[in-house]
Amino acid sequence: MTAQDMHDFLRRRYRRRSVLRGAVLLGAGAAIGPVLWRQSGLTDVAPIGPRWVSFGQDPASQMWVSWSSGTASGGYPAPPAPQVRWGLDSSYGSTAQASSAQVPVPAVAGEPAENTYYNRVSLTGLAPGTTYHYSVSNDGVSWSPDRVFTTAAAGKPDFRFTAFGDEAASSARAAPMAALAASLKPAFHLVAGDLAYATPHGLRIPDVTGFQPAQWDRYLRVVGGNAAMSVPWHPAVGAHEVEPLDDNGYAGFITRFAQPYNSASGSPVVGAFSYGNVAVIRLDGNDLSAQEPINNGYTGGAQTAWLQSALEGYRAQGSGIDFIVVVCNCCCYSSNTVHGSDAGLRDVWGPLFDQYQVDLVISGHVHAYERTNPMRAFEPTMEAAPGSTVRPAADGTTYICAGGGGNGLYRTWYGSTGSGDGGSTAAPRVWQWSGGATAVGGIGKPVDVVDKVRGYSAVRRAVFCCLAIDVSAPAAAGHQTTMTIRTLMPAQTASAVTSIADPAVIDSVTLVRTAGQA
């Protein structure tokens, strides 16, 4: 989704939701009435808040720089002249004006009015594989400390990326987990949904029960300060990103997180980008989830149709893509007693993942770690113990739940684990739609039943952990390319990450492909 697409999308939403107290501003100089009354009499310039960066559609040449101004309870006016200066060193040399936006938060008893401004600018025409310095300002007078970001290398580089989901904003857990990801020096980081937990579960207007919009300020301080101001941060949505703001509840998410969005998906939060020979597709499982039905069917099947066309494109000869990684929140496969598997997604997307040989699906939602054996047609094709090599083209898709990003862990599994976690003698469960229906079909209802799919779980542990994924590029078409996934567990207690130095490797698997061949 381009900035103009986003602007148009939000304009349409706000015309339809005139009851909202706030308004969103996008584009320099844009102004919409309802915000202005909160600014009268205020002249101070808001302090510069946390910063975060993210790739544009072309990670080799485009980078978004975002930052917040003030806080929910700050009561500051819009930044008078938000801007970024950047260059190859800290003398910068280039300056760009940013746009500012607010999230239209309704009144919530006991919560501060939302006064945070989110500022962003898209830097384009950057050189590939280059580290840039940048600094931001709300007024062109006071500037933030210098920071750096790095664009994607051209061609098919070796690189690393990291991933986890389910963070929240704890200084004892989410902060060190973000710092752990940054310490691995990834090219980018994926968040598998459930970021700030500003909502206790997905909320729709007019239900604001438990809504804590200021939680986003805390989250962005935690991830911005520890990682995202230099590591491009690319989140998918979970149900906790559905806020009582607009039709689908995503106005806050897209206002806070600039990143590639593909409006052809029928969703404002779905998108894809490629880095080297890897394509990353962020999906919205809320569209299909049988367990989290708040946004069921809202794209009318458009997201799945777009997914199929995207997968077809990536698997076409000459696409330059070897590995396809999908990131979403709910788990197609989970043997944890909290939540369990979600066949709402699995039944619809699983066959597409099979058909187009999706290599890796990263999810969260279940606050623990679990990797499946490679799966095809809802069955494991082999047993992949830690250290295994998997050939996705022949063996199928590996599904990893990486929900140990900082929120409280879910410690009980179906069966026994031998890792000290709890076990249940009950049969593994799955959420699915009754009568063979899907969220798009709209008949039937979600039910929690015994799962007929068995034997999928390869490794599982209820720990805080981060995926470190190393991609080794092929020497040429026809040569081998690998994606090695290591699961890193920092020192921890039941409720805190105590050290990120020398994390233990608790699981690893290497995916192998022949480059240029689907």
Site string for Fe ion, 185-204 (x = CB under 5 A): ---------x----------
Identity of the residue, 50 or 165, whose beta carbon is nearer to Fe ion in the bound complex: 165
Q: How far apart are alpha carbons 244 and 371 in whole angstroms?
A: 34
Please give the helix or strand (H or E) that residue 514 lies within, else none.
strand 497-514
Q: Per CB under 5 A, does 284 bind Fe ion?
A: no
> Binding pattern to Fe ion, positions 416-445, x when CB under 5 A?
------------------------------
Q: Which residue number, 237 or 251, has a Cβ lying nearer to Fe ion?
A: 237
Please say which residue, 194 or 287, places its beta carbon nearer to Fe ion. 194
Residue with smaller CB distance to Fe ion, 169 or 279: 169
Distances (CA, A) of 314 to 274, 280, 376: 10, 10, 19
CB 194 to Fe ion: min, Å: 3
Q: Which residue is nearest to Fe ion (CB)?
A: 194
Q: How many Å apart are CA 106 and CA 83, to the nearest integer? A: 28
Number of residues that bind Fe ion (CB under 5 A): 2
Distance CA 243, CA 220 (A): 17
Cα angle 60-190-451, degrees, rounded to a multiple of 5: 140
DSSP-derived pairing of the beta strands 398-402 and 369-372: antiparallel
- Strand, helix or coil for residue 306: helix
Choose between 287 and 359: whose C-beta lies nearer to Fe ion. Answer: 287
- Does position 246 interact with Fe ion (CB under 5 A)? The reply is no
CB 418 to Fe ion: min, Å: 25
Q: Going along 304-356, which residue ranges are E strands? A: 323-327, 341-342
Cβ at position 219, least distance to Fe ion in Å: 13
Return d(Cα 375, Cα 332) in angstroms, integer: 11
The site map against Fe ion for 126-165 (x = CB under 5 A) is: ----------------------------------------
CB of 173 to Fe ion, least distance (A): 13
Q: Which residue intervals of 87-245 are DSSP H helices? A: 174-183, 215-223
**What residues between 13 and 42 interact with Fe ion by CB under 5 A?**
none
Minimum distance from residue 200 beta carbon to Fe ion (Å): 11
User: By C-beta, is 235 or 276 nearer to Fe ion?
Assistant: 235
- Tokens standing for residue 25: 């501003």
**Shortest Cβ 319–Fe ion spacing (Å):** 33
Residues 6+ apart with CB under 8 A from 456: 333, 335, 372, 373, 375, 380, 399
Q: Which is nearer to Fe ion, 292 or 322 (CB)?
A: 292
Which tokens belong to 221? 């301080």
Task: Kindly tell me which of 166 and 246 has the beta carbon lying closer to Fe ion.
Answer: 166
Q: Could you tell me which residues come within 8 angstroms of residue 138 by beta carbon, excluding any fewer than 6 positions away?
A: 45, 46, 47, 48, 69, 79, 80, 81, 82, 119
Least spacing, CB of residue 291 vs Fe ion, in Å: 12
Judged by CB, which is closer to Fe ion: 234, or 240?
240
Q: Residue 403 CB, nearest distance to Fe ion (Å)?
A: 6
Query: Cβ atoms within 10 A of the Cβ of 283, count?
Result: 30
The total of other beta-carbon atoms located within 10 Å of residue 160's CB is: 15
3-state secondary structure of 504: strand
In the three-class reduction of DSSP (H, G, I as helix; E, B as strand; rest coil), residue 2 is classed as coil
Q: Rank residues 166 and 243 by Cβ distance to Fe ion and give the closer one.
A: 166
Cβ 293 to Fe ion shortest distance, Å:
16
166 sits near Fe ion (criterion: CB under 5 A): yes
What residues between 347 and 376 interact with Fe ion by CB under 5 A?
none
Q: How many residues does the chain have?
A: 518
Beta strands in 200-358 (DSSP E): 233-235, 271-275, 278-282, 323-327, 341-342
Closest separation in Å from C-beta 407 to Fe ion: 6
Residues lying near Fe ion in the complex (CB under 5 A): 166, 194
